[in-house]
Amino acid sequence: MALRLEDKKALVAEVNEVAASALSAIAAEYRGMTVAEMTELRAKARSEGVYMRVVKNTLAKRAVDGTEFECLSDSLKGPIILAFSKEDPGAAARVVKDFAKECEALVTQAVAIGGDVYPASDIDRLAKLPTLD
């Protein structure tokens, strides 16, 4: 279903607000995931305090513009899901990494923290960060 201009502006503002206060972000390709798998991934993300959203790439680029995750813009190609850690820097990485073990269709594209973008292989390093507890 196509979004109206007002809906697109609201979506960009919502993602921008989350990105502005997030500690880290993961961009992952979800091509080939079933609806049940996507629902399960979103439930796990919610339980870990991770904001996860599928956003059209052009809108995602606008949403991260002006935040420390602007560095992700070049990685936003194909069907991408954005995951932002709001409380624990490694939470999004752990959710995506753990779920990717079960679902091969979920492939990490980029990892961002502190205004720097890292290759997908660095998701392990971010996931191993100790929690704040």
Domain layout of the chain by residue ranges: 5-125
Q: Judge whether 111 and 24 are in contact, CB under 8 Å.
A: yes
What number of other Cβ atoms are within 10 A of residue 43's Cβ?
A: 11
Q: Judge whether 31 and 37 are in contact, CB under 8 Å.
A: no
Average pLDDT of span 22-27:
93
Between the CA of residue 66 and those of 20, 57, 59, what are the distances in Å? 8, 16, 13
Q: Which residues contact 110 (CB under 8 A, 6 or more apart)?
A: 26, 27, 72, 75, 117, 118, 119, 120
* Interatomic CA distance for residues 16 and 13, integer angstroms: 5
Q: Which fold has domain 5-125?
A: Alpha-Beta Plaits (3.30.70)
Average pLDDT of span 107-125:
88
At 133, is the pLDDT very low, low, confident or very high (cuts 50, 70, 90)?
A: low
The percent of residues in the chain predicted with pLDDT above 90, rounded, is 71
pTM, rounded to two decimals: 0.89
Q: Judge whether 88 and 37 are in contact, CB under 8 Å.
A: no
Mean pLDDT rounded to a whole number for the chain: 90
* Interatomic CA distance for residues 95 and 72, integer angstroms: 19
Average pLDDT of span 84-90:
89
Angle at 120 between CA 99 and CA 100, to 5 degrees: 10
48-73 pLDDT per residue, tens: 999 999 999 999 999 999 899 999 99
